Amino acid sequence: MATGQARAKLLAAAVDDALEAGIADLSLRQIAEAIGTSHRMLLYHFGSRDGLLAAVTMAVEESERQRLFDSDESFTNARPLWDHLSDAALWPQERLFFEIYVRALRDRNRSDGFLDHVVDDWLEPIAARLVGAGIPPDVAAAHARLGLAVVRGLLLDLLATHDLEGTTRAFDLYVASVIATLRRRG
Amino acid sequence: MATGQARAKLLAAAVDDALEAGIADLSLRQIAEAIGTSHRMLLYHFGSRDGLLAAVTMAVEESERQRLFDSDESFTNARPLWDHLSDAALWPQERLFFEIYVRALRDRNRSDGFLDHVVDDWLEPIAARLVGAGIPPDVAAAHARLGLAVVRGLLLDLLATHDLEGTTRAFDLYVASVIATLRRRG
DNA sequence: TGGTACATGTACCATATGGTACAGTAGGCC
DNA sequence: GGCCTACTGTACCATATGGTACATGTACCA
């Protein structure tokens, strides 16, 4: 398995293709054709089909983590965060994210700790921010967890129904009641 | 494609197997061996591999709908509903549900309206119940949508982290703040 | 008895699959 | 020049795949 820049290019192309076509259902040859290379090349650079899928998984996890840090300033206000995440331009990303998520649920070993990070990595910074705002740590932890679930649950809804209006109303309701409750206490 | 009781038995066995092993990643022969038949039989009864997966999808949707009606009385109190859904015995069901959900997101046509029901069918009865309790319809709709997202988001969390305690705390927080807000207004 | 409908087994087919063997090719470096 | 490393193309292999053809069994009804 190589590590050069040719590999990096292929990986980027593979992720890009996976956004549209998914990962699990395609053969090496189909993927190769879609991104303009040969299945031989994919095997050279990623060792095996599983190696490719693992690499794509890690890349998506990485970009997810990147999004986490990028959105640091948005955490202060929840609504802009939702407006950003619910944008249709991000749907392919989120679909792929859920696809990898569910795939990991089937076989924890195969996906190399994806599930260990997929929740916890998000909880900590959110909770830390809340603690910084004077919320007691245990309350903050529960709030972070609930907020993450609300966002992911509503994104699942949105991807299925495409009902941006309805899901946004539900999110606003969450902000109005839960976060208001939090402020009242904190 | 047959419709007899032999088919029904095979379908039940296939669903049962899918709970443990998933659907998409197995070949007809693997599924057949797992449930004690031949791939020839699966083709006879379900026409094709896609036919089998479609049948499994519909069966899961059906059982999901059944669960919806069964849980009618639980809706009055949210917490027992969560205790029921978060029980580890139901994890395989929920994993398979999310698997089919995500698979449907990839190809809406293939899954025969699954996505059209996966949210709406749940919103209506929940909202109706809230309206019956005196909540204005538009507020009730948003509350139903938020509640569904919370449950599904926390189930995703639970399936990944296995942290029943943490997710339950988050759910309790939701009940305490959102539903309290609702009562205050209603 | 024969027929008919559902069900099952055997054997096969064309094709696609992941993976390998091996022979290059291009470019930097000595 | 020769050497090495990174990369790519061709050709192949054993195997597994979804699907089909056809014969067989089995039960029930006439």
pLDDT tens by residue, A31-66: 999 999 999 999 999 999 999 999 999 999 999 888
Residue A88 Cα distances to A67, A75, A162, B89, B105, angstroms: 16, 20, 9, 36, 14
The pTM of the full predicted model, rounded to 2 decimals, is 0.94
For B13-61, what is each residue's pLDDT tens digit? 999 999 999 999 999 999 999 999 999 999 999 999 999 999 999 999 9
Contacts 24+ apart (CB under 8 A), A161-164: A161/B115, A161/B119, A161/B120, A164/A86, A164/A88
Helices A5-21 and A91-106: crossing angle, nearest 10°? 100
Per-domain residue ranges of chain B:
54-185
Task: Assess whether pLDDT exceeds 70 at residue A73.
Answer: no
Pick A146's closest partner by Cβ from B143, B150, B180.
B150
Give the mean pLDDT of chain A.
91
DSSP-derived secondary structure for A95-119: HHHHHHHHHHHH-TGGGTTHHHHHT
Q: Which positions 20-49 of A are in contact with B (Cβ < 8 Å)?
A: 22, 24-25
Domain B54-185 has CATH 1.10.357: yes
Least confident residue range of A58-72, A79-93, B10-24, B161-175: A58-72
pLDDT at residue A67, as a whole number: 83
pLDDT at residue B95, as a whole number: 98
Mean pLDDT of B4-15: 92
For B77-130, what is each residue's pLDDT tens digit? 789 999 999 999 999 999 999 999 999 999 998 888 899 999 999 999 889 988
When pLDDT is cut at 50, 70 and 90, the band that residue B65 belongs to is: confident
Count CB-CB contacts under 10 A for residue B96: 24
- Top mean pLDDT of A170-184, B98-112, B145-159 is at B145-159
- Reference A61, options A3, A4, A118; nearest CA is A118
B182 and chain A in contact, CB less than 8 A = yes
- Reference A118, options A62, A163, A158; nearest CA is A62
pLDDT at residue A186, as a whole number: 47
Task: Assess whether pLDDT exceeds 90 at residue B1.
Answer: no
Contacts 24+ apart (CB under 8 A), A42-49: A42/A10, A42/A14, A44/A2, A45/A1, A45/A2, A45/A6, A45/A7, A45/A10, A45/A11, A46/A1, A46/A7, A46/A10, A46/A11, A47/A1
Cβ of B156 within 8 Å of Cβ of A154? The answer is no
**C chain positions with any atom within 7 Å of a protein CB:** 6-11, 16-21
Q: Where are the alpha helices (DSSP H) in A35-132?
A: 39-46, 49-70, 78-85, 91-106, 114-118, 120-132
Å separating the CA of residue A44 from the C1' of nucleotide D2: 27
Residue of B nearest to A119 (CA): B157
pLDDT at residue B119, as a whole number: 96
Task: Assess whether pLDDT exceeds 90 at residue B74.
Answer: no
